Amino acid sequence: MNDGAIVGLVTLQFSWGGLLDSRPADGKAHLVRRTKTGTPGPTLCGIDRFAKDTPGWSVGGGISGPDITHTPCDGCVAEARANYSDLPISGLAADVLTEAVNS
C-alpha cells in the first residue's frame, strides 16, 4: 500500500491575524493534494506554504462570513483540471472550486 498516493484535493486559504481577527492574505481559495497521511507539499499553483515569513494557512478551513467571497485560484484550478480532475475536492469553498475545475 502506498500511503503517499494522492486520494483527493483539499481547499486551503492563507490569512493574517489570529483566530478572531483573521483577514484573507490573497483572497484566493487554493488547493493542496491529500494523501491518506496528510497534505504534503505546496499548493497546486506552487506556493510553498511552509516558507519563512508566509501568512498562516488553514487546510480544509479558512475564513468565512457574510462579507467573504471565496475566489478560486486560477493556477490551482488549471493544475487540478490538467492533472487531478477525477479526484474529489473537500473543505471550505469545495463547491466553488469543484465548479471552477469542472467548468
**pLDDT (tens digit per residue) in 77-95:** 999 999 999 999 999 999 9
pLDDT per residue, tens digit, the chain (103 aa), is: 456 799 999 999 887 776 667 666 677 999 999 999 988 889 999 998 888 888 878 888 777 778 778 899 999 999 999 999 999 999 999 999 999 999 9
- 30 φ/ψ angles, rounded to the nearest 5 degrees: -100, 175
C-alpha of 84 from chain center? 13
Contact (CB, 8 A) for 3 and 37: yes
Q: pTM here?
A: 0.86
Cell of residue 8, nine digits: 483527493
Residue ranges per structural domain of the chain: 8-102
